[in-house]
A and B are shown apart, each in its own frame.
Chain A
Amino acid sequence: MLEKLKEKGIDELYGDRIAVGTSTCGIAAGALEVLEVLALDDTKNVVEVGCLGFCSAEPLVYVQENGKAALVYRNVKKIEEAKVLGWFYPWEFSPLKLEHPELEGYKEYPRLVEHPFYKKQVKIVLRNCGIIEPLNISQYVAMGGYYALQRVLEKEPEDVIEEVKKSGLRGRGGAGFPTGLKWEIAKKNEGKKYVICNADEGDPGAYMDRSVLEGDPFSVIEGMTIGAYAIGAELGFVYVRNEYPLAVERIEKAIEIAKKYGFLGKNIMNTDFSFDIHVVRGAGAFVCGEETALIASIEGYIGEPRIRPPYPAEKGLWGKPTVINNVETWANISPIILNGWKFFASLGTEKSKGTKVFSLVGKVKNSGLIEVPMGISLREVVEEIGMAENVKAVQTGGPTGGCVPKNLMDVAVDYEELTKLGSIMGSGGMVVLDNTTCMVDVAKYFLEFSKIESCGKCVPCRLGLAEMVDIIERITKGEGSLNDLEELERLADVVANTSLCGLGKTAPNPLLTTLRYFREEYEEHIRGRCPAGVCRALVKYRIVEDKCTGCGLCKLNCPAEAIEEVDEVYKIDDKKCIKCGSCFNVCKFEAVERL
């Protein structure tokens, strides 16, 4: 059956087609409007694909015609004005050995694999994203899909676990626990078993899980099916964030399709193995990404974490052994089986194997989702892939991660190395900060986030974080003292060491890293100055009459209606001004002064 699907998929994938990336990021950039125009020509085969990762170049459109490779156009707003980004063979990003016809390349355009954004990338998890039509199972099979499951079903479950163990794969949801070991523990425990895919992705600033679910849902389903076979589960759950409606829709549809083709449901691929998946939506609580809170949420309770052990692999959903893995972890499984553990283990560092997907955003030229081998330096990621200039620090690991300053950017990106610097790998958010960012403000933002998202179950997290926010707010208003810094450090220590779950344990990270690497910025605030000019209580804005050309852009962009025209120049009314700096940022003539 696979061969038939593969044939069909190969015809479709390498035949004539025009592909538009219509993931959430593409849609936000205007991809649907482009699609509408392209679809008017019904002689053309216009298809929708997921995200190729290069989000700052979206809408992305590529054209495959007359036996030639795919030619990619970037930032397509008007079709006639579209600029070429480069070209690629649809199979060349995948690490799997794929059957494909020969396509002719282009001489006059650059290759996508040579583009700074793609050059250092190795796509295992993202192998199909932006290449296949997400819900087209033939195309998924043509890219090597379901061959891993076929192979697995002929093996003993123990051998599958062994393969995953040897690969060195560690969980991509943050904590980095060895995946094979987790499976083994669950298998050894007695009783009915479950698998769960954690797609809660609460880290604001990271969206790789969304992209995989939207762009390649079968890869997650296949991974889960393999995991279920390995541990002996018949039921699985995908817990997906409610803020991702398209991802919810895609995974739900993909599950139905997989069932129709016999890859899911009763007697999978004509064996006596049966497995089914249900989708459960999250309801907007960050802490539900924590595994025990997530389980409580599926069970229909509020998402409060509980003390571990017992770990979910021992006592999880409804008290039964449960393997819970992140989206990216699941998407790694089938390539590991297909290419063998050695292939995976050959990538990365001694303790962190394989690749990691990062969402590279913030003050970079090239932003988007990138997948790089573990151990690459942060500098390569930020400066070579992101082409960032004037970097001040990189925030890694999400709201409870830390800030790595520019001078330490040569650090190798792996679980242990980032932890040494006081940050974490987390789920792979990477926000690049430059001189326009105030580090105290950054710490305040993350502390506020954790304070709001704390479930409130344990005292240090609930009260400690609130107290820390109060203090740091005082500092950003210029009302802090040097004692406050010591008090913050003391509180951070208590919260980190006495909280129940990972949220409280890691919430002080942004504060501690900024205090460690940017202490002088805190001290400046205490002296009444915000060096980056961000903290509202410590700045003032004024329009320099001589420089004002009277264009009025500042007035249009003032949220507080504090700017008035007086004799063809503009003036700021101090009483109305909320010091947001909007005028300062939009003025093209440097006529707005920050005092």
Chain B
Amino acid sequence: MKFLINSLLEIQSKHGYLPKNEMERISMEFNVPISRIYSIATFYNAFSLKPVGRHVIHVCKGTACVMGGSEVFEDTLKQMGVLDDEDFTYQPIRCFGACSLAPVVVIDGKVYGKMTVSRLKKIVSKLFEDESKDSDNDKTSKGDEDAREA
């Protein structure tokens, strides 16, 4: 048995978003109008129509975490420029089911319990550093390729 939402979730997790052609494919496969696929894609929080960045950060905004002070993490990310950096995708989430470790932040799939601002700053700065290293590497490797081609 196949389920529309399941199939869309698979695409979402494979690409990090729902590419247009994939939505069209699903629309054919399930024989439902593309408008319904769009309405689903915009109704449910799990879907996005834009590609996600290389790093995904979730701050838990569930009850236990917010009461435990998780809102400052969004401020922290904002201040650090994460919110408008395309390498990063920030998505608040409501409860990971690890409430006794509140406040919880999830960075690239790793769950951090009892998060503090200073720890978050450290982790994110590290990601920024890695990114800038990576982009340097990208340049050199690209250079190498060019060299080979030549």
| Complex alpha-carbon distance, A211 and B99, angstroms | 12
Q: Are B43 and A561 in contact (CB under 8 A)?
A: no
A55 CB contacts on chain B under 8 angstroms: 98-101
Q: Would you call A28 and B112 a contact (CB within 8 A)?
A: yes
Q: Are B9 and A283 in contact (CB under 8 A)?
A: yes
In the complex, A421 has a CB within 8 A of chain B: no
List, in ascending order, chain B residues with CB within 8 A of A395's CB: 63
Inter-chain contact A280/B118, CB cutoff 8 Å = no
A205 touching B72, Cβ below 8 Å: no
Q: Are A560 and B95 in contact (CB under 8 A)?
A: no
Q: Kindly state the separation between the CA atoms of A29 and B96 in the bound complex, as whole angstroms.
A: 13
A301 to B113, CA, bound (A): 35
Q: Which of A290-328 contact B (CB under 8 A)?
A: 297-298, 300-303
Instruction: Using A300-B32, A361-B64, A578-B75 as known contacts, say yes or no to A24 and B100 having CB atoms under 8 A apart.
Output: no
Residue of B39, B60, B68, B113 most packed against chain A (CB within 10 A): B113
Task: Say whether A556 faces chain B, with CB atoms less than 8 Å apart.
Answer: yes
| CB of B2 to closest CB in A, whole Å | 9
Task: Tell me if B57 counts as interface (CB < 8 A to partner A).
Answer: no
| Contacts known (A24-B97, A243-B95); A283 close to B62, Cβ less than 8 A | no
| A303:B43 contact, CB within 8 angstroms | yes
B63 with A283: CB separation less than 8 A? no
- Interface status of A101 (Cβ within 8 A of chain B): no
CB < 8 Å: which of B30, B36, B47, B66 contacts A283? Answer: B47
Check if B9 sits within 8 Å of A362, measured CB to CB: no
Among the stretches A81-89, A175-183, A483-491, A579-587, the one at the interface with B is A579-587
B16 at interface by CB-CB < 8 Å: no
Is B44 a contact partner of A361 (Cβ separation < 8 A)?
no
Is B63's CB under 8 angstroms from A586's CB? Answer: no
Residues of B with C-beta under 8 A to A580: 71-72, 75
Task: With both chains docked as a complex, state the minimum distance between the C-beta of A66 and any C-beta of chain B, in angstroms.
Answer: 32
Output the least CB separation between B19 and chain A (Å). 17
**Contact in complex: B72, A207 (CB < 8 Å):** no
Which positions 41-74 of chain B face chain A at CB distance < 8 Å?
43-47, 60-69, 71-73
Give the CA-CA distance A510 to B137 in the complex, in Å.
53
Q: Determine if A557 and B117 form an interchain contact, defined as CB atoms under 8 angstroms apart.
A: yes
B124 to chain A, nearest CB (A): 11
Within 8 A of B (CB), among A191-247: 201-207, 210-211, 242-244
> Any chain A CB within 8 A of the CB of B123?
no
For the complex, give the distance between the alpha carbons of A87 and B126 in Å.
Answer: 42
Residue A144 interfacial (CB < 8 Å) = no
> Which residues of chain A come closer than 8 Å to B63, judged between CB atoms?
204-205, 361, 395, 398-399, 429, 431, 445-446
CB pair B6–A582 under 8 Å, yes or no, is no
Binary CB contact string for chain B from 75 to 115 against chain A (1 if under 8 A, 0 otherwise): 11011000000000000011111111110100000011100
A267 to B117, CA, bound (A): 56
Does B4 reach chain A (CB closer than 8 Å)?
yes
Q: Which residues of A lie under 8 Å from residue B5 when comparing CB positions?
A: 280-283, 297-298, 300
Residues of A contacting B72 in the complex (Cβ-Cβ under 8 angstroms) = 559, 580, 582
A282, B101: Cα distance in complex, Å: 24
Known: A27-B111, A28-B112, A242-B46. A585 touches B69 (CB 8 A): yes
Give Cα A299 to B76, complex, Å: 41
Mask: chain B, 19-39; 1 = CB below 8 Å from A; 0 = not:
000000000001010001001
For residue A332, CB closer than 8 A to chain B, the reply is: no
* A243 contact from B3, B97, B101, Cβ within 8 A: B97
A269 to chain B, nearest CB (A): 23
Complex Cα gap A67–B116 (Å): 43
A286 contacts partner chain B, Cβ-Cβ < 8 Å: yes
Q: Is A437 an interface residue (CB 8 A)?
A: yes
Contact residues in A for B4 (Cβ distance below 8 Å): 300
B 112-137 to A, binary, CB cutoff 8 A, 1 in contact else 0: 11001110010000000000000000
Complex contacts, B43 vs chain A, CB 8 Å: 285, 302-303, 455
Known contacts: A55-B101, A359-B99. The answer to whether A449 contacts B94 by CB under 8 A is yes
Residues of A within 8 A of B73 (CB): 559
A to B CB contacts below 8 Å, 17 in the list: A28-B104, A204-B60, A242-B46, A243-B96, A281-B9, A282-B46, A283-B8, A284-B45, A297-B5, A302-B40, A302-B43, A362-B64, A449-B94, A558-B117, A561-B79, A580-B75, A585-B69
A residues with a Cβ closer than 8 A to B are 24-25, 27-29, 55-56, 58, 201-207, 210-211, 242-244, 278, 280-286, 297-298, 300-303, 359, 361-363, 367-368, 395, 398-399, 429, 431, 433, 437, 442, 445-446, 449, 455, 553, 556-561, 578, 580, 582, 585-586
Interface residues of B (CB under 8 A from A): 1, 3-6, 8-9, 30, 32, 36, 39-40, 43-47, 60-69, 71-73, 75-76, 78-79, 93-102, 104, 111-113, 116-118, 121
Beyond A283-B5, A398-B63, A560-B79, 11 additional contacts (C-beta under 8 Å) are A28-B96, A28-B112, A283-B40, A285-B44, A297-B5, A298-B3, A302-B43, A395-B63, A455-B43, A559-B79, A580-B71
